[in-house]
């Protein structure tokens, strides 16, 4: 094994704070300049598109990000601080802005540390424990360049750093391809549903059943995999399927494979699909159509306007109760067209699920290899063979 040396991050990098862009210019235009926020970071690190927060106001000099820039989160709105401090790399194709709460990383000693290696080093559990362990705040968690700079990073020679980063990047690149496939298929399915002109308003309870979630006692939750996967809200929602994070041994309300999972508390109307039998907490409802689950999914997700009346319900946060939910009207296909539409949507949704499941397998492999490569416990040549077998 080559010689590894330990260095404080403060000796290797500089972190620049972002700019406090004015909220009056915020929008949701996916083609406009996009403000990078903590929501653009995946749990475990890595950049994700997420919902765009665009900006139409004046842009100060020096706060536009470039493709390949390495950035880190400085704030996380969740109590668990799932993305706090993690790193991501700015992709190409859009104009991204260096927003507040985001740190832009500049490497001070490029001959000692390689940017790709650093990117993955800032996605390890040991780094996360360091940052979250020193975070400030209760509801909103914060870290600082000073806290990040105190982390001690072990470095092999630059050539080995590059090889390690290349192995992990190969997995991430394949995941990105699958995500693009999934996004494209989702757009095609949405366009197919919208192109079905033989539709009319139908009360949701005429075409589906609704199960409102219920939260069992907190001591029945775990992260060990005991019981059923459990979803309390949108925290674990993905583009189509939620990720496994929490399980419950005393589920009281269930969702089943292909049920549409709908958030009933802010943000109201966010949608995912159950990939298997699971438990649902009070922030989620399961909507089921045994005969037309794929039509139901796209009927619920095709028109965001049905949820707007409930986004401001409640004293602080938006919500929708079962009575209100039951009164929703969906744009539902005619009897003459629905069977054919269900079949076509199922074929597209099956392709999306295939790409999603493959990405999850690759992500699990990456997360398994990451700490071993970063600690030197696994040699690069063995990791390369493992990755080759999976890509």
pLDDT tens for residues 253-269? 999 999 999 999 988 99
Q: What is the pLDDT of residue 76?
A: 85
User: Rounded to a whole number, what is the distance in angstroms from the first to the last CA of the chain?
Assistant: 27
Q: Helix H segments across 110-233?
A: 115-121, 125-133, 145-149, 158-194, 204-207
156-198+334-391: CATH topology = Helix Hairpins (1.10.287)
**CATH class of the domain whose range is 199-332:** alpha beta
Cα gap 250→56, rounded to integer Å:
48
Are 156-198+334-391 and 199-332 in the same CATH fold? Answer: no
Could you tell me the residue ranges of all domains in the chain? 5-155, 156-198+334-391, 199-332
Q: What is the pLDDT of residue 79?
A: 56
Cα gap 303→330, rounded to integer Å:
9
pLDDT tens, residue by residue, 320-331: 999 999 999 999
CB 83 within 8 A of CB 131: no
Q: Tell me which residues of the chain have a pLDDT lower than 70.
A: 1, 77-81, 312-317
Q: What is the pLDDT of residue 317?
A: 65
- State the CB neighbour count (10 A cutoff) for residue 114: 22
Q: What is the pLDDT of residue 80?
A: 56
pTM: 0.87
Q: What is the pLDDT of residue 314?
A: 44
Q: What is the CATH number of domain 5-155?
A: 3.90.220.20
């Amino acid at each position: 094994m080559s010689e590894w040396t330990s260095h404080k991050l403060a000796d290797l990098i500089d972190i620049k704070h972002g700019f406090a862009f004015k909220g009056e210019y915020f929008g949701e235009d996916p083609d406009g300049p996009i403000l990078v926020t903590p929501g653009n970071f995946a749990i475990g690190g890595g950049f994700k598109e997420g919902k765009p927060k665009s900006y139409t106001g004046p842009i100060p000099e020096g706060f536009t990000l470039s493709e390949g820039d390495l950035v880190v989160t400085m704030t996380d709105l969740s109590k668990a601080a799932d993305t706090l401090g993690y790193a991501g790399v700015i992709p190409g194709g859009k104009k991204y802005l260096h927003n507040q709460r985001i740190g832009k990383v500049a490497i001070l000693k490029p001959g000692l540390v390689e940017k790709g290696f650093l990117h993955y080093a800032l996605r390890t559990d040991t780094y996360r424990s360091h940052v979250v362990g020193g975070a400030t705040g209760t509801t909103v968690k914060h870290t600082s360049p000073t806290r990040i700079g105190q982390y001690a990073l072990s470095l092999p020679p630059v050539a080995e750093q590059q090889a390690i980063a290349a192995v992990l990047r190969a997995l991430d690149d394949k995941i990105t391809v699958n995500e693009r496939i999934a996004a494209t298929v989702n757009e095609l399915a949405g366009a197919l549903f919208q192109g079905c002109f033989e539709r009319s308003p139908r009360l949701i309870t005429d075409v589906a059943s609704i199960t409102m979630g219920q939260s069992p006692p907190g001591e029945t939750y775990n992260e060990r995999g005991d019981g059923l996967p459990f979803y309390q809200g949108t925290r674990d929602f993905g583009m189509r399927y939620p990720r496994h994070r929490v399980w419950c041994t005393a589920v009281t309300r269930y969702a089943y494979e292909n049920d549409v999972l709908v958030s009933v508390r802010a943000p109201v109307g966010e949608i995912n699909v159950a990939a298997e039998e699971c438990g649902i907490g009070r922030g989620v409802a399961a909507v089921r159509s045994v005969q037309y689950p794929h039509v139901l999914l796209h009927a619920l997700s095709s028109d965001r306007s049905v949820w707007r009346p409930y986004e401001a319900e409640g004293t602080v946060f938006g919500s929708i109760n079962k009575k209100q939910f039951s009164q929703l009207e969906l744009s539902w296909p005619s009897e003459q067209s629905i069977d054919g539409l269900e079949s076509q949507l199922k074929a597209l949704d099956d392709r999306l699920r295939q790409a999603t499941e493959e990405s999850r397998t690759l992500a699990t492999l990456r997360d398994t290899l990451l700490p071993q490569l970063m600690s030197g416990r696994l040699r690069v040549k063995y990791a390369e063979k493992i990755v080759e077998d999976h890509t």
